[in-house]
Amino acid sequence: MIQLSRTQIEALVTVDSEMAEAVRDAYRAISDGRANLPPVGHLGFPAAHGDCHIKFGHIAGDEVFAVKIASGFYDNPAKGLPSSTGVVLVFSALTGQMQALLADEGYLTDLRTGLGGAVASLALCRPDARRFLIVGSGTQGYWLARSLRHLAPAADIAIWGRNPDRVAALVARLEGVTIAPDLETACRGADVIVTATPANAPLVRADWVRPGCHITAIGADSPGKQELETALVVRAQLRVADSLSQSLDHGEFAHARAAGLIGPGDCAELGAILSGRAAGRRSPDDITIADLTGVATQDIAMARSVLSRAKGTAQ
């Protein structure tokens, strides 16, 4: 059995084109019927401002399946601790035997979420989109900026966060990224808005978003979270989910559905758009929203890539 630490995993996989393609295929697998994805497990720790997710699944044809446990405790940075951690267990789909323990401490989740947000944003935004706004100054802000810079090198990227000191520290780690001092002003000028916060009340308002803007919402990955005003979700001409069942159950779209304002027929799945089986943006003036709740096929793709590169390095 292979056992890898976070340091070893970081040396094998990072932001690159091959990993971005693995994430694209993970989205396609959901929509083309290759994915076996049981419901996500959630544990909430509201008193500690934390949560834990258990995601697991299998992609048809793969020789492995994966089980991931990942937690986010969002007050940890003030305690000198990382906000996220986790582990991925990889098993043979032929024998059931455990093949790998990836003690990534949340690294693979952070990496695939950043790549996934960039992939979704670039698939749905206008071809001439240049001004990208990241809302959130945590770990995901870093990986989103890294991923967008790799996949869209000409993009102008700015970051807004509640804590100016954290934003400044994050921007200092990134090349060619600026600080957005005011959220409303930044939203009104953005071609693409990517939200990555643990917010449980809307941050981005409907009347702040101009026609033609694309929004990718990443933070609402468990019940009770919300980053976008419900009126903005309803206003959009195109609503896209990584997993329609997850988004309507506990994602950003769940609030509009609970209010009876949208239903399954009012949304599309990202994998179907990436594979050309469903239409994406129809007009330069469309407001489009991608709701990314996080899917186990991404974790499978990450684990598969780590093992492939680990075996290649060992040869």
d(CA 161, CA 182): 9
44-52: long-range contacts, CB 8 A cutoff, minimum separation 24: 44/222, 44/223, 44/224, 45/73, 48/73, 48/75, 49/73, 49/74, 49/75, 49/198, 50/74, 50/75, 51/222
**Among 107, 66, 142, 138, residue whose Cα is nearest residue 304:** 66
The token duo for 261 is: 């304002």
The token duo for 229 is: 């005003």
58 close to 69: Cβ distance less than 8 angstroms = no
Among 68, 79, 225, 311, the active-site one is 68
Q: Does residue 55 carry a catalytic annotation?
A: no
Residue 113 CA: distances (Å) to CA of 25, 108, 212, 313 = 14, 8, 24, 25
d(CA 93, CA 40): 20
219 close to 198: Cβ distance less than 8 angstroms = yes
Residue 5 phi, psi (nearest 5): -85, 170
Residues with catalytic roles: 68
